Structure 1
Amino acid sequence: MKPDMDDAYANGAYIEGAADYPPRWAAEAEAFRTSLGARARLGLSYGPSERMALDHFMPEGEARGTLIFVHGGYWLKFDRSCWSHLAAGALARGWCVAMPSYDLCPHVRIAGITQQIAQAVMAVADGSMGPISLAGHSAGGHLVSRMLAPGMLPASVTSRLTHVLPISPVSDLEPLLQTAMNADFGMDTAMARAESPVHQPKPGTPVTVWVGADERPVFLDQARWLAEAWDVDPVVTQGAHHFDVIDALTDPHGDMIRRLTTAL
């Protein structure tokens, strides 16, 4: 029997209290921004569209580096305002955090979003000094992985990347051709392959592929496929599902933040 790919990639249907997460994220993010006061610089433009803007959070004292976090939502929903609280771990370790929004499908193609994130990374690099690390969740995991494709970023930026950490990434987009979401993505097989990190060469930048043990089987597969393609050992967090695996970003003492904020 042919698998139901819409069900396979449905996360909320299999997470208890799933509907409570988005409003909780938004409330925690707003409270966090408020608590930072002047250390939160909001709505900095990096491109021509309204959604091509980022929030920049600064630590107390001189910054040791910059973490760029790219949100998920299947390239279809959410923006930077929902995730500000996830900057807590890196800020506590003396790193700046930048969080970009981007245009969403169907108004743009996924390839266009990839180019927008490259613009965001370059804008952050131009306005900062020191090491840069990238983390992204779900579709954001796809996007930060794409930053490691040959020629995606200039050498002057790539040389500053100290770690890239895709969390629960979508690394092979071809299965999504069999989902209803593709009506908004507008992908064909060639487009899906071109945007799939599993088909990129192994990068020279250190990479950690991170996933929750309680995620849907396809996300465990997607993480494993990327780890195998790039010859890295995946980290599988016991007891974590697709919506709470990102909570580790708030812990300054955890392994996820340690990897992202340890300059080479």
Structure 2
Amino acid sequence: MFPPITDWDAAYDNAPAIPDGASWPGRWIEPARDFRQAMMAQGRARLDLAYGPGARNRLDLFLPKGTPKGLVVFVHGGFWMALDRSFWSHLAAGPLAHGYAVAIPEYTLCPQIRIAGITTETGAAITAAAAMVAGPLRLAGHSAGGHLVTRMVSATSPLGAGLRDRIAGVMSISGLHDLRPLRATWRQATLSIDAAEALSESPALLEPLPGTRLTCWAGARETSEFLRQNALLANIWRGLGAATAVVEEPDRHHFDIIDGLADPDHPMIRALLA
């Protein structure tokens, strides 16, 4: 029998459970900056592209050598209330090596917007990026970004029908797929998730779009709630007709789990582009 959770903050706070956990997200700043500079020097970076009217409605687009085979969109995390696109540029290296363009958007943060509004903005960002690059579309997101990319293939997706048909696969990395437990954490003071939004914005409580192919990937050293959330969506959506897979990568935690995206030979990249 699993005991009830009494400390919801600890269940969703990753840094205290990781040695030197406070060093993230700072560890990503330098490699991301160096990667952008190298891509700009090669003429393969299009930065600060607007996809909407908001101050944070911006994305960066990185281009491979030659004609892109398709587009990968990476949506960042931060519990819908922190971080921006500048932390993640280096994660484009893996897909780029395989000939895919990579778009990395950012979005308005809570409490200036509700999570439902971030879903709408993410749809607008993907729509804008997809108009710049032809071919199949693959979505990846980390933590809250995992929530956002799986919302794109939920029944109430903000994406248009033609764009939905281009989505070849979705990868939720340490994703949050049921928002209801988060209402019991300290972040609720900023997120203000009400009961109705928890139901309408939780991918685990929605049906997947027909033909959805989903991989839920997490680090084996994550908190029990992130591991549960990782397996939860793949389990439910498989029962609703989606093709799903669950991976718990050994010796990885909530922050270093995304390193796989930067490595062209990592199994995470092979799964994303399969």
Tell me the TM-score normalized by structure 1.
0.96
Q: What amino acid is aligned across from residue 98 of structure 2 in structure 1? A: R
Show the 5 A alignment for 1:184-199. Answer: 184-199=190-205
Q: Is the 8 A contact 1:72 1:139 kept in 2?
A: yes
Alpha-carbon separation, structure 1, partners of 2:58 and 2:264: 26
Alpha-carbon separation, structure 1, partners of 2:57 and 2:70: 22
Q: Say which of 225, 243, 254 aligns to 2:232.
A: 225
Q: Secondary structure at the match of 1:187?
A: coil
Cα 1:41–1:218 change in 2 (3 A) is same
Q: Is the 8 A contact 1:163 1:259 kept in 2?
A: no
Alpha-carbon separation, structure 1, partners of 2:194 and 2:87: 31
Structure 1 position 156 matched with structure 2 position 162: yes
CA drift at 1:136: 0.1
Alpha-carbon separation, structure 2, partners of 1:188 and 1:169: 20
Alpha-carbon separation, structure 2, partners of 1:257 and 1:72: 19
Q: Secondary structure at the match of 1:98?
A: strand
Cα 1:159–1:2 change in 2 (3 A) is closer
CA drift at 1:202: 3.2
Alpha-carbon separation, structure 2, partners of 1:198 and 1:207: 12
1:122-149, CA deviations, whole angstroms, 9 ceiling, x for partnerless residues?
Answer: 1112222101100000000000000012
Show the 5 A alignment for 1:15-94. Answer: 15-37=18-40, 38-94=43-99
Alpha-carbon separation, structure 1, partners of 2:231 and 2:132: 35
CA drift at 1:233: 2.8
Q: Secondary structure at the match of 2:170?
A: strand
Alpha-carbon separation, structure 2, partners of 1:241 and 1:174: 23
Structure 1 position 10 matched with structure 2 position 16: no
Cα 1:198–1:53 change in 2 (3 A) is same
Q: Is the 8 A contact 2:207 2:237 kept in 1?
A: yes
Match of 1:246 in 2: 258
CA drift at 1:79: 0.3
1:160-186, CA deviations, whole angstroms, 9 ceiling, x for partnerless residues?
Answer: 111100000000000011111111111
Q: Say which of 126, 136, 144 aligns to 1:139.
A: 144
Task: Tell me how many residue pairs correspond in the alignment.
Answer: 262
What RMSD over aligned residues (CA atoms) do the two structures have, in Å?
Answer: 1.1
Q: Say which of 207, 219, 236 aligns to 2:214.
A: 207
Structure 1 position 172 matched with structure 2 position 184: no
Q: What amino acid is aligned across from residue 31 of structure 1 in structure 2? A: D
Q: What amino acid is aligned across from residue 94 of structure 2 in structure 1? A: G
Show the 5 A alignment for 1:93-104. Answer: 93-104=98-109
CA drift at 1:2: 5.5
Match of 2:241 in 1: none
Alpha-carbon separation, structure 1, partners of 2:98 and 2:133: 17
Q: Is the 8 A contact 1:65 1:261 kept in 2?
A: no
Q: Is the 8 A contact 2:155 2:208 kept in 1?
A: no
Alpha-carbon separation, structure 2, partners of 1:8 and 1:257: 28
**Percent of aligned pairs sharing the same letter:** 47
CA drift at 1:259: 2.5
Alpha-carbon separation, structure 2, partners of 1:142 and 1:5: 19
Alpha-carbon separation, structure 2, partners of 1:64 and 1:123: 17
Q: Is the 8 A contact 2:108 2:118 kept in 1?
A: yes
Structure 1 position 123 matched with structure 2 position 135: no
Alpha-carbon separation, structure 2, partners of 1:257 and 1:120: 22
Q: Is the 8 A contact 1:46 1:53 kept in 2?
A: yes
In structure 2, runs of 5+ residues without a counterpart are 239-243
Q: Is the 8 A contact 1:166 1:210 kept in 2?
A: yes
Alpha-carbon separation, structure 1, partners of 2:44 and 2:20: 33
1:28-53, CA deviations, whole angstroms, 9 ceiling, x for partnerless residues?
Answer: 10000001122111100000011010
